[in-house]
Chains A and B, each alone.
Chain A
Amino acid sequence: MAAKKIGVYICHCGVNIAATVDIEELKRFAATLPRVKSVQNYMYVCSDPGQELIRKDIKEKGLNRIVVAACSPRMHEPTFRNVLKSAGLNPYCLEITNIREQCSWVHHDRHTATEKAKGLLAASVAKAALLEPLEEHEVGVTPTAMVIGGGIAGIQAALDIADTGFKVYLVEKEASIGGHMMQLDKTFPTLDCSACILTPKMADVKNHPNIELLAYSEVIEVKGFVGNFKVTVKKKPRYVIESICNACGQCSPYCPIEIDDAFNERLAKTKALYIPFPQAIPATYVIDPQSCRYLRDKSCRQCEQVCKELQAINLDQKEELVELDIGTIIVATGFDIFDPRQKPELGYGKYENVITGLEFERLVSASGPNQGDIKINGKKPKDVVFVQCVGSRDQTVGNEYCSRVCCMYTAKHAHLVREKLPDAHITIFYIDIRAFGKGFEQFYDRVRGERVYYRRGNVSEIYKKGDKLMVRAEDTLMGKAVEVAADLVVLAVGMEPSKSAKELGKILKLSNSPDKFFLEAHPKLRPVDTGSDGVFLAGCCQGPKDIPDTVAQASAAAAKAVIPLAHGTVKTEAMVSVVQAEACRGCGFCVEACPYAAITLEEKKVRGKKKIVATVNEVLCKSCGACAASCLSGAIQQKSFTDEQILSMIAVIGKKY
């Protein structure tokens, strides 16, 4: 074994590190550490000239272990591994000392921060001397993607992946794809008709040879790892056979049960045997199992009689489990709107003329229950009040974030009211107006010029007075309490993560940010990746977004999801556990400790004798090291995190230097 020659590279990170940690002192200290043959500092070690310093030293000074004291290894470990690789050194001969996130950024005092940096650096150098080169293995990739969620994000992602030539499964929990965008009337700021821009894409999904749509289905289990997921999808029974039903619609009028029309936000009724909306994809009816008379007490089979010829109705349909081999997964589970009943002072659920923004969309839509006439109880409202930030920027309901769409959709709503009710009085109560997107400010200006009265203030109460609603608020510009009469109040409800996605998050081991939306791998540089390799995010499941941002993110997620598929192989974890067969006593503690079932006991010949030894499946091993901690004889070790390596760090990290 060649002697260890260690190079230490200290990054200033501009002033991020250098302002707090004394670089010269750290450099002097590093040179005193055992086996350190070269110490250099540089303004930005991660930049190309910084990387070149390391490469040059490796070649010229024959360094074989590298320590970089810079930002977190979670940030640039891959970057520096590639540097080692390009200089002909094994990429695992690298140790990173985190002197930014966990030192200079969290301590003000230069002396104590420098002392801490010394301890951390000493530990890294000690470990580096014991690092061994590791081999990376490659395994094949199933050239198929899955997109979970069939709103605009999922539709866009599925279409983009399919266009690259790879097969994609699109899983949607509802009876039709389309999501919330399908419920919208016009879209801000361009006033495009939502259905006109969405339904062609839905048809594309249906017709694309590379897309297989699994509607009315849910992902219930995901096993495996990037490139080789095994996904179990539950296909819920529609009680209507998708391949036979031609959506003629003759059956529905004969169904005796009326239910709330979810697509129309319960402003209308539909039948228990229904199609969510006429342009639904798949164009197949569905039976609501909670209300269908046959499915409740077997007392009615009228629909079967109507569909006698085609026989598309099967009231005995059972749920079906499908297991699919998948390479990469995109999560596009969208959002739920905030339930304004959590703010009882606003009177939602109490007064029928207090409605949500989404209900207003259905009310004003030509395909809605009123054919687009803005009427409440058959009467056109004269005074319309909009309330912004309902369930957003509101600590009392636990939602501190801005939902990013409500300012603009309210401006659009006001515009639509003005278009349809030229004489109406329109008031908008707002906290701040956020018109940040392309064309937003111009649209906001336009709406302000349409006799729409913007009043800055938070609404405190809505109550009934005669046949009017009174909206009480503090006008913070006037500095006084005001009351505005209304015939219709529209609450600009914000977005919350989809409740049904919570379980999926657990299945895919996704993290959540404090706002409860799914957490991206890095807020700036890996905005569509997640902590789970091969799983990507698109749309509002990651945070509130408007349609343009959602579509852009969906295309980004699609591009990312295609990379492993196009590459054809993925690298397996190199820091896997390894068993020293001579020392293993075959007790099986590690088998029990392993959460990934990666270890089995097998009979092997060790030094000519048969014995039972633990054996690690390197493809399944996720390098947690639980086995190593459970082993009583020290026979199983996690590469790059061996007992010896960790103990070497412990010996020096807390010392005073």
Chain B
Amino acid sequence: MDFEPTIVAFLCNWCSYAGADLAGTSRFQYPANIRVIRVMCSSRINPLFILNALLEGADGVLVSG
């Protein structure tokens, strides 16, 4: 029951990252488990990044763009 996952998110600067900013401006509350890495486009995401995130201990990876 105490499990708190760590989720590494790769977000596109122009859409999802901007959306996450908008969630902030709108003061929407969500759990703090997510750690965002900004990229300029989701096409930048190399499968290697996802595997590395999991290897470094992330419990989940979110790619959004």
Contacts and interface: CB of A to CB of B under 8 A. Distances in A.
Contacts of A647: 48-49, 52
Given A643-B48, A650-B49, A654-B56, A116 B43 contact: no
* Chain A: interface size category: 35 or more
A646 B49 contact: yes
Looking at chain B, what size class is its interface with the partner chain?
Answer: 35 or more
Contact of A72 (B24, B41, B43, B44): B24
A655 B35 CA distance: 10
Contacts of B58: 654
A123 B52 CA distance: 14
A101 B24 contact: yes
Given A101-B20, A106-B23, A647-B49, A625 B41 contact: yes
A108 B24 contact: no
A123 B46 contact: no
Contact of B53 (A120, A623, A654): A654
Contacts of A593: 43
Contacts of B40: 575, 623-625, 638, 641
A107 interface: yes
A650 B43 contact: no
A93 interface: no
A628 interface: yes
A74 B8 contact: no
Contacts of A123: 35, 37
Contact of A106 (B18, B27, B35, B37): B27
B53 A629 contact: no
A74 B20 CA distance: 11
A106 B36 CA distance: 13
Interface string A79-109: 0000000000000000000101111011111
A119 to B, nearest CB: 5
A115 B41 CA distance: 27
Nearest to A73: B38
A101 B20 CA distance: 7
Interface in A340-357: none
A72 B37 CA distance: 12
A551 interface: no
A650 B56 contact: yes
A34 interface: no
B32 A116 contact: yes
A649 B36 CA distance: 10
B24 A626 contact: no
Interface in A607-657: 623-626, 628-629, 638, 641, 643, 646-647, 649-651, 653-655
Given A74-B21, A650-B52, A626 B41 contact: yes
Contact of A100 (B8, B14, B24, B56): B24
Contacts of B44: 624-626, 628-629, 638, 641, 646
A624 B41 contact: yes
B27 A624 contact: no
A113 interface: yes
Chief secondary structure at chain B's binding surface:
mixed
Contact of B43 (A75, A100, A575, A629): A629
B3 interface: no
B32 A113 contact: yes
Q: Main SS of chain A's interface residues?
A: helix
A651 B57 CA distance: 9
Counting chain B CB atoms within 10 Å of each CB, the highest count among A109, A123, A625 belongs to A625
A396 B49 CA distance: 44
A398 interface: no
Nearest to B65: A624
Contacts of B53: 650, 654
A577 to B, nearest CB: 10
A654 B57 contact: yes
Contacts of A116: 32, 35
A106, A108, A651 pick with most chain B CB within 10 angstroms:
A106
Given A625-B39, A650-B37, A655 B57 contact: yes
B14 A629 contact: no
B38 to A, nearest CB: 7
Counting chain A CB atoms within 10 Å of each CB, the highest count among B6, B21, B48 belongs to B21
Given A98-B38, A102-B20, A625-B40, 19 more contacts: A74-B17, A74-B21, A101-B25, A102-B24, A106-B24, A107-B29, A107-B30, A113-B32, A593-B43, A623-B40, A624-B40, A626-B41, A641-B39, A641-B44, A650-B37, A650-B52, A654-B6, A654-B8, A655-B57
The 10 closest A-B pairs by CB, nearest first: A101-B24, A625-B44, A624-B41, A626-B43, A105-B24, A112-B32, A101-B21, A654-B6, A653-B35, A116-B32
25 contacts: A72-B24, A98-B21, A101-B21, A101-B23, A101-B25, A102-B20, A102-B24, A105-B24, A106-B27, A106-B32, A107-B30, A108-B29, A112-B32, A113-B32, A115-B32, A625-B40, A625-B41, A629-B43, A641-B44, A643-B48, A647-B52, A650-B37, A650-B49, A654-B53, A654-B56
Interface of B: 6, 8, 13-14, 17-18, 20-21, 23-25, 27-32, 35-41, 43-46, 48-49, 52-53, 56-58
